[in-house]
């Protein structure tokens, strides 16, 4: 969880530098998902998005989801990185990655991580629209 902007590719490179040392040769596949804020939701222009979370609780949910994926697909490693605070369109908001011996497990785990994050982690979103602010009441379908 981070309030400041981040470069997902730099974060991924930093994480992979550590993985190469700790798990040299253990993984043959890495699948990465980067999500960015959109400038339109439900047909309305979005100027900014404010993402709120419950410190401690949100991180716990992300840890549980990550552990579930690690066990279910016997991953070498997984990474979930999420922004909160005020974001502008095209700002990276989430980075999810899964490393495994084989691509099928990495793809399945990465998809599981982002879908579970969207449905289980406690986040609240408020969009700034031309007509004023509105709370987001549903996630967009995967």
- pTM for the whole thing? 0.91
Residue 122's SS3 state is: coil
DSSP readout, 59-104? HHHHHHHHHHHHHHTT-SEEEEEEB-EEE-TT-EEEEEEEEESSHH
Domain 8-135: give its CATH code: 3.90.1170.40
Task: Work out the mean pLDDT of the chain and round it to a whole number.
Answer: 93
Q: How far apart are CA 38 and CA 2, in angstroms?
A: 19
Helix or strand run (H / E) with residue 20: helix 8-22
Kindly report, residue by residue over 29-72, the tens digit of the pLDDT. 999 999 999 999 888 899 999 999 998 999 999 999 999 999 99
Beta bridge mates, 95: 34, 81
- Listed by start position, the domains of the chain span 8-135
pLDDT recorded at residue 24: 82
Burial class (CB in 10 A: 0-12, 13-18, 19+), 108: middle
φ/ψ region of 85 (left if φ > 0, alpha if ψ in -120 to 50, else beta) reads left
Residue 38's SS3 state is: coil
pLDDT at 142 > cutoff 90: no
């Amino acid at each position: 969880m981070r309030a400041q902007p981040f470069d997902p590719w730099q974060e991924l490179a930093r994480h992979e530098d550590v993985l190469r040392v700790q798990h040299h040769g253990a993984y043959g596949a890495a699948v990465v998902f980067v999500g960015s804020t959109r400038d339109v939701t439900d047909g309305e222009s979005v100027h900014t998005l404010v993402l709120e979370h419950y410190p401690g609780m949100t991180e716990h949910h992300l840890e549980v989801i990550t552990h579930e994926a690690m066990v279910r697909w016997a991953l070498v490693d997984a990474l979930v990185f999420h922004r909160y605070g005020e974001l502008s369109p095209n700002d990276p908001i989430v980075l999810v990655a899964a490393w495994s011996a084989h691509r099928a497990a990495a793809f399945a785990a990465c998809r599981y991580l982002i879908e579970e994050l969207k449905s289980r982690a406690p986040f609240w979103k408020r969009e700034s629209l031309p007509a004023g602010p509105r709370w987001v009441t549903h996630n967009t379908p995967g």
